[in-house]
Structure formats: C-alpha cells, structure tokens
Amino acid sequence: MKYLMIHALDEDATPRTGSNGEPLELAAWIEEMEARGVVLDGARLHPVSDATSVRAPNGTVVVTDGPFAETKEQVAGYDVIDCPDLDSAIAVAAAHPTTGAGSIELRPFDEGMPDPEVPESVPDGKRRYLMLVCADMRRAMAAELDATEVHADSVPERSSADDEEEDEPIDRWIADAGARRLYGWPLAFPDTAVTVRRVDGEVVTTDGPFAETKEQIAGYDLLECTDLDDALEVASSHPVAATGVIELRPLRL
C-alpha cells in the first residue's frame, strides 16, 4: 500500500529531542528506505512564509499569501512510501528524525496509484511546487456515509475516484496542465489518518490528521512550472479551487 508521509514542524520551535546527529539520522533514513525500495518520492519544502493559496469561488481567482490553514505545526516536507501495511508504515515514520521535532501524518492514497516517476534534475528555467488540494472533507464523508447506508448491498469503493469518465472535470484539468504536472493522486479521507510523534523518546501514535482544520488535505500534485504565476494558473483551474483551497509550496531543491 502507498502512503503519504506529511512532515509537520513548528518552524519557530526548537527540536524536542536535540540528539546531535540529526542530519546523519536523516541521511541514514533516506539511504535505508531507498535501498529497501520504501521511498518512491519526497522533498523538503520552503518555509510556510513562501506559501501561496488560491481559491476560485464563482470563477473569480483569489490569490492570498500563506498556507491553506493557520496551524501551530506546518507542512515542511513529504515522502511517498510503499509498505505492506499500516504498522510497517508507522515503523518507517517512527524511524524518521521529524518525529523528534514535530509530527508525521500518514495518509493512505486512494487505490490504483501508479509509482511516481520524478526525474532527479529540474530542467533549466523550471521550478517545482507541491500543490496541496484542500477541501472540507467532512461534507464529502457524510455524503459517502449516506450513500453507503442507502445502497448497503452494492457499495462503490469510492464514489468519485471510480467514475473514470473521459470528460470528468479532473481529467480535463490534467490534460490542460500537461507537462506542468509531474504526477498526483487523491488521498483517502482524513479519518484514515494516523499521526506519529515521539514524546520523551517514546513513539506515540494518534488517530487523525496532524492538525484540526476546517479544510483538510485531500490530495496533491507535483508541479513543474516556469514561475509562481504559471503554477497559479494550473492551481486555480483545478476543480477543487471552486469550493476548497489550493496551497502552492515551492520545493527546496
């Protein structure tokens, strides 16, 4: 199963466990997990002060400074991992140095995600952005629950993801984004999230996302664009921009 590891750190805080070899720890984690074929993609992000959010209610594009939600800990990076089950994913997350300083949220991807293929080097004149697609998922979850109760016999796995009609808005968006989108996939609902922290050296696993917010991360796409305006054009035409919010974060390369 594929999981998204969302690294959440309080940018103003000092690490909880100040073990002296943290860069080494990180290098060791990457080396081990890549050797085991666990990590498929991942990157660190520029600080949250470099974040830009965009909404497009009624087709009017509104660009604002800052992240999709003001939280104590902020998204600082991500990794895509492939593990046999949740327990092994938790073990992979617990071994990451982020748990000593902040939190790691683990979220399964929706089924059917192909292995991401992200070229190591970025072409001249291009930059990469993580595009977080955020929406109020409680409504979507409630709608799915209703559907489950009504059609208890023939429950569709997931109402939205399975309808792969040619002219779905999301397919049109993917076609329009073209080469500016490297890959992307929806995440399972936030109620599937598990958050891993280390408290006094002990690994603590809690149910739910790293922060309670009105809108939650529903999926992401990795973009490769010429500049922020180029990325904003892609983001603002995403179907979720009409009802939710899209955050753009430049990758630290």
Partner 1 sequence: MVHTSHDAVARSFTESWGRLVAGLIAWCGDWDLAEECAAEAFAAAVPAWETTGVPDSPLAWLTTVARNRARDRLRRRTTEDAKLALASAGATDQVAPADDADIPDERLRLIFTCCHPALPMPARVALTLRTLCGLTPAEIGRAFLVTEPTMEKRLVRARAKVKNAGIPYRVPPPELWPERVEGVLGVLYLMFNEGYAASSGESLLRVDVSTEAIRLTRSLVDLLPTEPEVRGLLALLLLTDARRPARVRDGRVVPLAEQDRSRWDRGLVLEGTRLLDDDPPWGPYAVQARIALCHDVAARPDGTDWAAIADLYSLLPATPVIELNRAVALSMAHGPEAALPLVESLAGDLAGYYLYAATRADLCARLGRTDEAVAALETAIAQAPTGAERRLLRERRDALLAR
User: Which stretches of the chain bind partner 1, using CB under 8 A?
Assistant: 46, 49-52, 61, 63-66, 127, 129, 225-232, 248, 250
**In this complex, which beta carbon is closest to partner 1, that of residue 54 or of residue 187?**
54
Closest approach of partner 1 to the CB of residue 46, in Å = 4
Handedness of CA 15, 19, 25, 29 (dihedral sign): negative
Closest approach of partner 1 to the CB of residue 235, in Å = 11
Q: Which residue intervals of 151-222 are DSSP H helices?
A: 159-162, 169-177
Instruction: Residue 32: name the closest of 77, 84, 92 by CA.
Output: 92
**In this complex, which beta carbon is closest to partner 1, that of residue 22 or of residue 230?**
230
**In this complex, which beta carbon is closest to partner 1, that of residue 64 or of residue 148?**
64
Instruction: Residue 181: name the closest of 102, 126, 139 by CA.
Output: 126
**CA 40 to CA 168: how far, in whole Å?**
28
**In this complex, which beta carbon is closest to partner 1, that of residue 52 or of residue 103?**
52
Instruction: Residue 129: name the closest of 2, 253, 4 by CA.
Output: 253
**In this complex, which beta carbon is closest to partner 1, that of residue 128 or of residue 198?**
128
Closest approach of partner 1 to the CB of residue 229, in Å = 5
> What number of CA atoms fall less than 13 Å from residue 86's CA on the CB side?
13
Residue 72 neighbours by CB distance under 10 Å: 13
Tokens of 52: 């830009």
Closest approach of partner 1 to the CB of residue 125, in Å = 10
**In this complex, which beta carbon is closest to partner 1, that of residue 30 or of residue 61?**
61
The alpha carbons of the chain give a radius of gyration, in whole angstroms, of 18
Instruction: Residue 126: name the closest of 226, 27, 45 by CA.
Output: 226
Closest approach of partner 1 to the CB of residue 49, in Å = 5
**CA 42 to CA 129: how far, in whole Å?**
12
Closest approach of partner 1 to the CB of residue 242, in Å = 17
